[in-house]
Structure 1
């Protein structure tokens, strides 16, 4: 996603001695986390975030964005590259309030701007520790890796990242906990790019079990007049590519591991436009194929703009709408 700033718990003793097992070793048993089906991205500390008490009346699952490496360097998780997770109380209060209302969250690492921890940490063990700090701080059973820009195609960074995912899953399984990992990828007019496909293969080679392959079906230059139909075409192309990459899964199982991420209103591409009608049509597609997740960038943008904000803005949709029009459509998705 482009319209955004890309940017305590003590570690368990076992994490202090994490080692990377060879990819040939048996993977950790899969433990299922409760599904995160209808989950918009939300920046809790940026882009004029709405109060959680207001959000829960419209949607109760969120992907919180973004945890990055510090802007000054280092392997410590920070919100937007500036605010250490270890000192956070604001996001923690939002997470607690959302769960009290019956909801849940994932935390997303990466994004288009800033430095992803996989590029900053020197090895898989230190990277796993950094990710685990965030998991422990918010009691997470879901994390999202939003890999874009220079991080996509960085072989060394991707290798560290997927080795770290393997370690995290091993640690969670040993403790009897679930950890669901989604991999979010940009898309092209013909589905997944060569870099996307190489990344998916690298995750397999490194023994990282990816639960959800989340396709960002926007900012690829789709036509506004037929946006929903074009997104469906792109998603079907991605499905065919995933089926080749994951021959161990049936066609239905590939759909069940695929996420669809949209962008509400105007996108960074002048040719694209996502209306509430577009969202409703694509809700139908996601439901018919029983996808793993329906999401959009972003909840902060789910309101009309005031004043002259230009073509696209991080805190409003640039289309006529009522607050949370897009979130209420996505909240109807049940898988």
Structure 2
């Protein structure tokens, strides 16, 4: 998610008037936290809902007084590097932490939400500015920068929204991961452990290569990720034509789940399928998305909530609570994204309770609830007698559009391949030459093979010398010599081996020969 609506400063005059009380407020807030800190009750575990709030957007959103019960936890966004000092945190580059308290009453509003039983998460990053690790290159200063935000707002959970240029910066990613590992280690075993969520862009095919690299960096650094939250929005050209926003978002979630298991396996960490779902967060952009023509409706939200609950997703969020309302009649063009309304007629309803239904846990205690793992299903034994296509073979060669059966599923080749397992776990779809079509159906049987009459061509003779273009019969199938050969069995050609001097004619070619033998 970007800081899509960059917000506006309050007037300089008001800032100057308010700045005189900054010192007193800061001191008061440091002692005040202790008075309400114990109110951060940890009752309830399990999947949680927390919508994003753009802190600097105007008009200001009253997250401390949510419009719906499901909005009583918030992800405040975005803390980024100050333009004046790369290692100093700021809210959207507009306010330092003290300035945000003076101008926005931010500390007091956070305290009120927590007093009322809500939970506050702070998100670092976004699209429009430098995330702290991008600009702050000193490791110790970076840790201090993050810690100053965590300590000021007494956070148990942070969210790192890494996208755009921040995501492409590999060195920044390493600094970010190391800093979070250091902060987690410092709080390990204490009453205030630190939960870290990584928020990343996603396509219907899953995380991008930069996204999977970011997850790998965190795991390699030893960060115990609370989860990976994917922004199911703004798909653009990655969304196939005719695919709905709901279907694209479901596909993105399923693909991320598969990728996450691969990433943990490569990191040497055991994680089951249900535990992997618990480590996934989903964040749609409600209503009109930034990409024209992409609209996420209330019906989509209801179905997406049911999907997430069925899968066992650990977190549901949305961009943003600021926008959870119907635009006024004065808002002329709802296809232009607003920072204070969704761009669709919500008919008096809200996205927050729809997306957040049954997500009643807390971010701080999500990991405390044990995950019941499913018993792995036994591998399917493929039966040539019932499989509609040949069983995949590691010695076979397959060309574009060839179909095979493997462990109960049908796959189609995207291009020439040999020795590539159809279900080999990969991070990106382009890493495998196979596309999964679906399971072998209960009533499927092999497609009847076209066979040639016994007198069409001579039977193969191992003593015979064959020249290029010669044809033979083996059990009713026709083979054509690709080059000179003797004693080379056509058996290898059954599997499509390029090393065989024989090529098995396909059914279409054989049918044409049978219809008009003279044409051959």
Matched, 1:312 2:337: yes
Aligned to 1:228: 246
Higher Cα Rg, which structure: 2
Q: 1:169 to 1:83 in 2, by over 3 A?
A: same
Aligned to 2:66: 55
Cα displacement (A) at 1:34: 6.3
TM-score in terms of structure 1 length: 0.87
- Among 236, 245, 255, the residue aligned to 2:263: 245
CA distance in 1, matches of 2:192, 2:262: 30
Structure 1: runs of 5+ lacking an equivalent: 10-32
Matched, 1:295 2:320: no
Cα displacement (A) at 1:224: 7.8
Matched-pair contact (CA < 8 Å) for 2:65–2:113: no
Matched-pair contact (CA < 8 Å) for 2:327–2:341: yes
CA distance in 1, matches of 2:225, 2:162: 13
Equivalent residues in 2 for 1:60-99 (5 A)?
Answer: 60-89=72-101, 90-99=105-114
Aligned to 2:505: none
Cα displacement (A) at 1:271: 3.2
- SS at 1:178's partner residue? coil
CA distance in 2, matches of 1:171, 1:127: 15
CA distance in 1, matches of 2:348, 2:196: 30
CA distance in 2, matches of 1:312, 1:88: 26
Matched, 1:172 2:190: no
Matched, 1:209 2:224: yes
- The size of the alignment, in residue pairs, is 316
CA distance in 2, matches of 1:324, 1:292: 24
CA distance in 2, matches of 1:140, 1:232: 31
Cα displacement (A) at 1:155: 1.0
Aligned to 2:5: 4
Matched-pair contact (CA < 8 Å) for 1:153–1:199: no
Matched-pair contact (CA < 8 Å) for 1:36–1:61: no
**Higher RCO (CA-CA < 8 Å; seq separation 6+):** 1
TM-score in terms of structure 2 length: 0.57
CA distance in 1, matches of 2:226, 2:358: 18
Matched-pair contact (CA < 8 Å) for 1:66–1:80: yes
Cα displacement (A) at 1:327: 1.1
- SS at 1:211's partner residue? strand
| CA RMSD between the two structures | 2.6
- SS at 1:107's partner residue? strand
Matched, 1:142 2:157: yes
Q: Bigger shift: 47-56 or 82-91?
A: 47-56
